[in-house]
Structure 1
Amino acid sequence: MRMLRWSAGVTLLDRIRNEYIRGSFGVAPIIDKAKEKRLRWYGHVQRREEDHPVKLALNLPVTQPRGHGRPPSTWLTTVEKDLKEAQIDTNAARNRAQWRMRTRRADPK
């Protein structure tokens, strides 16, 4: 965000919101880009062979001693949450063209 503000010639003292600066440059929020990248990688892994080490690693159990509080978030639970939020089925990853259209959402048009 600092680079965009510098490019626009705007300082924090000007009190202009980040959304307005991002909109003027046509840049998507970083959170949306991170979700897009996670889903792209997940689709790539799902298209691999069943015996590939990366695909086998998705099904490894997370063994940690249970303590107090919420259990730690894993990459796979974050991806599942992103899939649910975007209303995408995991089987859609087999069709690369369809997966690409469904996951590329972050860049404003």
Structure 2
Amino acid sequence: MGLTRRLRVTQRAMGRAMLGLSLRDQIRNEEIRRRTRVTDTAQRVVKLKWQWAGNITLERENVRRWGLKVLEWRPRTGKRSVGRPPTRWTDDIRRVAGSR
């Protein structure tokens, strides 16, 4: 979630810079997005991720394709990293769609 939030903040800052606005002008983000005609980057990333996941599920009959191997790949580097493991693409998809 932190990365998504940073992406949205950066996009808002760039939109304000394109319009020559500052935070003191107190113009809503929806208004800035309407004026710049730029779509929300975080929503676009999620949409593309789901399109890719749908494309991978259609490749079930051809198991040798690299897409499924990438989804199920677990690197073995020898040592585990400290802290929480990084979120994988499949974790996000399972969180929304379920395990099947």
Q: Which TM class, normalised by the smaller chain length?
A: 0.5 to 0.7
Number of equivalent positions: 84
The two structures have a TM-score, normalised by structure 1, of 0.55
CA shift at 1:15, angstroms?
2.4
Between the aligned residues of both structures, percent identity stands at 20
Q: Check if 1:11 corresponds to 2:21.
A: yes
User: Partner of 1:37 in structure 2?
Assistant: 48
CA shift at 1:44, angstroms?
0.8
Alpha carbons of structure 1 residues 80 and 89: separation in structure 2 relative to 1, 3 Å: closer
> Which one of 25, 38, 57 corresponds to residue 46 of structure 1?
57
C-alpha RMSD of matched pairs (Å): 2.9
The two structures have a TM-score, normalised by structure 2, of 0.59
Gaps of 5+ in 1: 92-109
Alpha carbons of structure 1 residues 60 and 76: separation in structure 2 relative to 1, 3 Å: same
Q: Check if 1:75 corresponds to 2:85.
A: no
Q: Larger relative contact order (C-alpha < 8 A, sep ≥ 6)?
A: 1
Gaps of 5+ in 2: 1-10
Alpha carbons of structure 1 residues 52 and 67: separation in structure 2 relative to 1, 3 Å: closer
Q: Distance in 2 between matches of 1:76 and 1:89?
A: 10
CA shift at 1:53, angstroms?
2.2
Q: Distance in 2 between matches of 1:72 and 1:62?
A: 12
Deviations 1:23-58 (A, max 9, x none): 456654221111111000111111112221222232
